Amino acid sequence: MSIRMLRTLIAVADHGTFSAAADVVFVTHAAVSQQMRALEETWQVAIFDRSTRTPTLTPVGRALLAKTREVVRAYDDIVPSVLGDDGLKGDFNMGAVSTSLTGLVPLATAMLKSTCPDLHVKLFPGLTTPLIHQVERNALDGALIAKPDMLPQGLVWYPIAVEELVLICSARVAGEDPVKILKEQPFIRFSRDAVVGSIVEKWLQAKKITVNDSVELSGMEAIYSMVLANLGVSIVPEPCVSIANPPALRRISLAGEDNPARHLGLVHRKDSTKSRVLREIALAMERAVKVGVFSPETIDQIG
């Protein structure tokens, strides 16, 4: 048994098939199968149920997988714990909601790079719920997400920023009353698969506002373009780190004490061995929020 075999077992569990795992660990399908057979012979247990076309983990296999993740995490922490660098070098796999990739994440990553040059952050965009699952199963070291209603046990939430949700419309749309505009204009909806989309839907229902749905999108750039073309209005987060030349759209506050907002934060496992680098990432994100604008000038000032 080797640490490579244990990594392969994790890859099979995370990616669903031997073929997918083979691509991740850079071996052949046959090599993955041989490694899994070797583990079963070594441990004298059936890790996979092979009665179906795609082998699945047995109950014993799932229990062994949990212990395997712990062993691999401990192995990866051996050198950092001895050298005392607390992991401020090497790779860090971080997920991030796509809406943060135009401002907050690139600015914070540039700031992090200036203080931790040997740390290489690999970014994986996605929606909040899938990112949480990837952090939970240790496929990601951490993720910047919108705070969900509930967080699985074993995960830690660190708040980064609160982004007020605002109504956006083109300059051709008249008026300042967001409710009136929403009732009169086609509505470009933020995907309800995203936390933001569910926050918007809850607010609309609470206000008893019936909108005329035009299209449902998950990308901010696509929503901005549709609104800029005067094809409808939308409700989106006001980014905590704006880009230098934002689209020329009107932004109207959803005035009231119950303004909807998105809470952005960093989520990671409680038992993460990369606590130091997580602190550095959180600090970089907080610095980026204080700067507030992502532009060539702010990048030039880093360091």
Sequence spans of domains, the chain: 3-76, 86-161+264-301, 163-262
Let me know if the fold of 86-161+264-301 is the same as that of 163-262: yes
Q: Which pLDDT band holds residue 86 (cuts at 50, 70, 90)?
A: low
Residue 76 has pLDDT above 80, yes or no: no
- Taking only the tens place, the pLDDT of each residue in 160-197 is 999 999 999 999 999 999 999 999 999 999 998 899 99
The string of DSSP codes covering 211-252 is PEEEEEE--HHHHHHHHHTTS-BEEEE--SSEESS--S-EEE
pLDDT at 295 over 60: yes
Half-sphere exposure of 295 (CA within 13 A, CB side): 10
Q: What is the pLDDT of residue 87?
A: 61
Mean pLDDT of 206-230: 91
Answer for the pair 127, 97: CB distance below 8 angstroms, yes or no: yes
pLDDT (tens digit, 9 = 90+) per residue, 41-58? 999 999 998 887 888 899
Kindly state the tokens that stand for 175. Answer: 């008026």
pLDDT value, residue 79 = 63
Q: What CATH number labels 86-161+264-301?
A: 3.40.190.10
d(C-alpha 20, C-alpha 11), whole Å: 8
Contact 203, 257 (CB under 8 A): no
Residues 4, 7: Cα–Cα separation, whole Å: 5
Q: Would you say 131 and 99 are in contact if contact means Cβ atoms under 8 Å apart? A: no
- Say yes or no to pLDDT of 273 above 90: no
Write out pLDDT tens, residues 89-144.
788 899 999 999 989 999 999 999 988 888 899 999 999 999 999 998 888 999 99
CATH superfamily of 163-262: Periplasmic binding protein-like II (3.40.190.10)
3-76 has which fold? Arc Repressor Mutant, subunit A (1.10.10)
The share of the chain scoring above pLDDT 70, in percent, equals 95
d(CA 59, CA 62): 5
| Range scoring the smallest mean pLDDT among 76-80, 210-214, 294-298 | 76-80
Residue 302 has what pLDDT? Answer: 79
